[in-house]
Amino acid sequence: MGTALPITIHHTDGAARTGTISTPRGEIQTPVFMPVGTRGAVKTLDTRDLEALDTQILLGNTYHLMERPSAEVIEELGGLHRFLDWGGHLLTDSGGFQVFSLKPKVSEDGATFRSIYDGSLQHLTPERAVKVQQQLGADIAMALDVVPALPAPHEVVRDAMERTLRWAERNKQAHSHPTQAQFGIVQGGTNLDLRAESASRTVEIGFDGYAVGGLSVGESRDVMVPALAAATAELPERLPRYFMGLGDPIGLVEAVNHGIDMFDCVLPTRLARHGTALTSSGRLNLKRAEFQTDDSPIDPSFKHPLSGRYSRGYLRHLLKTGEPTAGRIITLHNLAWLADLTNQMRTAIAAGTFRELRAEIYSVWDDGPAV
């Protein structure tokens, strides 16, 4: 059970597309970047900030929330939306990537690992991942998958793909939430044949939308992009497509260039907390001494009330003195800047000028030619 999430395509420019995803909660305009609220909050921000940024959809981290405060506590308090006081959309991951990063013992039944909170032994199965996400009450839940560390031998990548497919069947069978959509996840490493096979077989199982996982984990872009293209070629046009864990400007335009509608990443908020802003001229490290007496805003070319109020000199002062307000202001800026980038992509696709925008992003953010 689940709720199909048809996407109405409004404009296309090559494979790039704009659309509207319709859910029981409302509508999501795509392409869309989803900020990550790991433990129930985007670090340094609250939901009023996200509303001011016109955030459409927010990510919750299933692994961390099931550990602290627990899915049962959140369910008792009215579900994740009420817990956060958030009226927008919510997507929860399955915990697969966090479990992967903890080096678990993986069996056919599930993954066993040590809690990062209290060292207790935890066992996560596809069925438990489904149950936890249903207790959280997100609008979109992700299937539990197996993420192979790359690079890896072909047989390791295939084994992970096959187990992901078997777990996908179990995820679907366990899902019973009447208004919660469920997305399947495509694996296959950087092998083009495995990516295409994984995508087509995941579509045969039948989900409400599809995600590309296990990429943007350190591999070069000239390897990542063909693997992405091999996957998206097999995905339905009328259902949402989601690239997991992608947040750099070139990555975003490449994903959209290959028909992706949704993406998320901790990168923009993590950079912000360390003093780095995303700007129209590239990354800007505001800790640098040259900004000590700089009275200009973070990005003079980006006019936004949430990020244009404070000078580079002031932000450098806050950063050098360890004031957390700096991270908050730069986080607001980075999320507003990325939201503006997605708006630019929608406008360019509608106008048939996406190729020019893509080239412009490459000219600022990359030293090499576009893939």
Which is the catalytic residue, given 49, 145, 248, 264?
A: 264
Q: Is 208 a catalytic residue?
A: no
> Are 93 and 65 in contact, with CB atoms under 8 Å apart?
no
Alpha carbons 146 and 157: distance in angstroms, whole number? 10
Number of residues that this document lists for the chain: 371
> Which distant-in-sequence residues (6+ apart) come within 8 Å of 248 by Cβ?
265, 267, 365
Dihedral (C-alpha) 245, 251, 257, 260: value to the nearest 10 degrees? 10
Which is the catalytic residue, given 93, 139, 145, 248?
A: 93
| Residue linked to tokens 């494979």 | 15
Alpha carbons 67 and 6: distance in angstroms, whole number? 33
Give the dihedral sign, CA 21/22/25/26.
Answer: positive
Task: Give the residue from 86, 102, 73 showing the smallest Cα distance to 37.
Answer: 86
Q: Is 264 a catalytic residue?
A: yes
Active site residues: 93, 264
